[in-house]
């Protein structure tokens, strides 16, 4: 934390190509303001003392007009203001115009987490970028207005639903362990203050390796590990606890047991038991909750769950289910027996386990696919 403030008294480290220019304008205006503040205050005190009312002195009429004085206090501020405008405008144009060869990352703001999507489709909860390369962010929101703010880069941009805003920066300092802070700077509801992330700046080769490794979980992780990664990476834990406590949504701790037993009650009073059939399995219900949260609402909760249709792959839903199982001692062993999921095969026919019994196969449920 402190390291981010190490070379400046007022400001965080200057870690982007334009941070220095932003600060320069700030310090210039600050210096001028301080200079005139001191000048005016001192003169005021001097005049009060020097021209105070004294015994035997008649007050004189104040001067009516003084051309030289009028011109001085018009022309000097005019020059200063025009100068600040020119410097500020050129800096602003630079900040809003991404260079043509920028590396593009899609940023999605969603209550209450960030999703950064790379050109190969991989999504991460933190922003990873190569150093010394212009990065263009395309920013959009799935719900309310958020604002992406990285103080070390002097970068702030609103993230508005239905709009695709652009911002760019070029990081100038490698920071691949601690990361720079990234905040949401627009109040967006209950957990706004936890809508934070880190910006990791890598050497270009390290960045390529990181992306390569991060994108391919199959073969490196078990479904349980992947599921565990997803619930933090995709912000599920902002609303769902892992320990049984009630947050904005139901806890993940007992969700699998409740689902298999059909014990979940919906707002209309019906229970999941009445829905579970050979062709509507517990897996199907979980996938539906993730892709179409509006289909059914669990009683006792407000419908706050966003849809992850097109954002979370079917393999990842399978991994989430394995992870939910692993949170419950009753299903833990079974979940851990599932080793590495098969590589994504989009056309693979879904295996429908008879009677909705929990299956150990990582071959997934039949979720409402992203194409619908």
Q: Applying CB under 6 A, which residues contact ligand HEC?
A: 111, 234-236, 238-240, 248-250, 255, 258, 264, 286, 289-290, 293, 297-298, 301, 303-306, 308, 312, 320
Nearest-approach distance from CB 34 to ligand HEC, in angstroms: 46
Nearest-approach distance from CB 158 to Cu ion, in angstroms: 10
155 binding Cu ion? (CB under 5 A):
no
Query: Looking at residue 273, what DSSP letter applies?
Result: G
Q: Of the candidates 295, 307, 229, which has an alpha carbon nearest to the alpha carbon of residue 266?
A: 295
159 binding Cu ion? (CB under 5 A):
no
234 binding Cu ion? (CB under 5 A):
no
197 binding Cu ion? (CB under 5 A):
no
Residue 154: which of ligand HEC, Cu ion, none does it interact with, CB under 5 to 8 A by kind?
none
| Bridge partners for 134 per DSSP | 170
Query: Looking at residue 372, what DSSP letter applies?
Result: -
Nearest-approach distance from CB 346 to ligand HEC, in angstroms: 20
Nearer to ligand HEC, 157 or 240 (CB): 240
Cα–chain-centroid distance for residue 68? 56
Strand residues in 131-196 grouped as ranges (E): 134-141, 146-150, 155-159, 165-170, 175-184
From residue 301, alpha-carbon distances to 122, 241, 251, 321 in Å are 31, 14, 11, 21
Nearer to ligand HEC, 92 or 301 (CB): 301
Q: How many Å from the N-terminal Cα to the C-terminal Cα in the chain?
A: 45
- Strand 103-110 with 155-159, pairing: unpaired
157 binding Cu ion? (CB under 5 A):
no
Contact 110, 143 (CB under 8 A): yes
Nearest-approach distance from CB 106 to ligand HEC, in angstroms: 17
Which of 129, 195, 286, 363 touches Cu ion (CB under 5 A)? Answer: 195
Integer Cα distance of 323 and 253 in angstroms: 10
Nearer to Cu ion, 149 or 252 (CB): 149
Residue 301: which of Cu ion, ligand HEC, none does it interact with, CB under 5 to 8 A by kind?
ligand HEC
298 binding Cu ion? (CB under 5 A):
no
**Residue ranges that bind Cu ion, judged by CB under 5 A:** 146, 184, 188, 195
């Amino acid at each position: 934390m402190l390291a981010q403030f190490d070379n400046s008294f007022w400001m965080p480290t200057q870690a982007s190509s334009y941070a220095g220019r932003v600060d320069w304008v700030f310090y210039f205006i600050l210096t001028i303001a301080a200079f005139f503040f001191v000048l005016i205050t001192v003169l005021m005190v001097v005049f009060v003392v020097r021209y105070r009312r004294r015994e035997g002195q008649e007050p004189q009429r104040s001067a009516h007009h003084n051309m030289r004085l009028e011109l001085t206090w018009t022309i000097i501020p005019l020059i200063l203001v025009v100068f600040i405008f020119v410097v500020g405008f050129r800096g602003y144009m630079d900040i809003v115009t991404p260079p043509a060869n920028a590396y593009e990352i899609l940023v999605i703001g969603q209550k209450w987490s960030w999703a950064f999507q790379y050109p190969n489709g991989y999504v991460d909860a933190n922003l990873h970028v190569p150093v010394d390369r212009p990065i263009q962010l395309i920013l959009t929101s799935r719900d309310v207005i958020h604002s992406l703010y990285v103080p070390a880069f002097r970068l702030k941009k609103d993230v508005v639903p239905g709009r695709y805003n652009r911002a760019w920066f070029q990081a100038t300092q490698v920071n691949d362990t601690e990361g720079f802070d990234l905040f949401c700077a627009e109040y967006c509801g209950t957990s706004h203050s936890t809508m934070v992330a880190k910006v990791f700046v890598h050497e270009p080769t390290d960045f390529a390796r990181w992306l390569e490794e991060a994108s391919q979980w199959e073969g490196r992780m078990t479904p349980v590990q992947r599921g565990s990664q997803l619930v933090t990476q995709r912000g599920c834990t902002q609303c769902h606890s892992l320990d049984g406590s009630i947050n904005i949504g139901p806890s993940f701790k007992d969700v699998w047991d409740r689902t298999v037993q059909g014990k979940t009650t919906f707002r209309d009073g019906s229970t999941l038991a009445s829905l579970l059939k050979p062709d509507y399995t517990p897996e199907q219900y979980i996938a539906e909750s993730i892709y179409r949260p509006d289909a059914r609402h669990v009683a006792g909760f407000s419908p706050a769950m966003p849809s992850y249709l097109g954002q979370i792959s079917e393999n990842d839903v399978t991994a989430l289910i394995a992870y939910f199982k692993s949170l419950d001692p009753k299903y833990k062993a079974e979940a851990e027996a599932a080793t590495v999921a098969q590589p994504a095969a989009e056309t693979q026919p879904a295996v429908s386990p008879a009677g909705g019994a929990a299956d150990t196969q990582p071959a997934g449920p039949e979720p409402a696919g992203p194409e619908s």
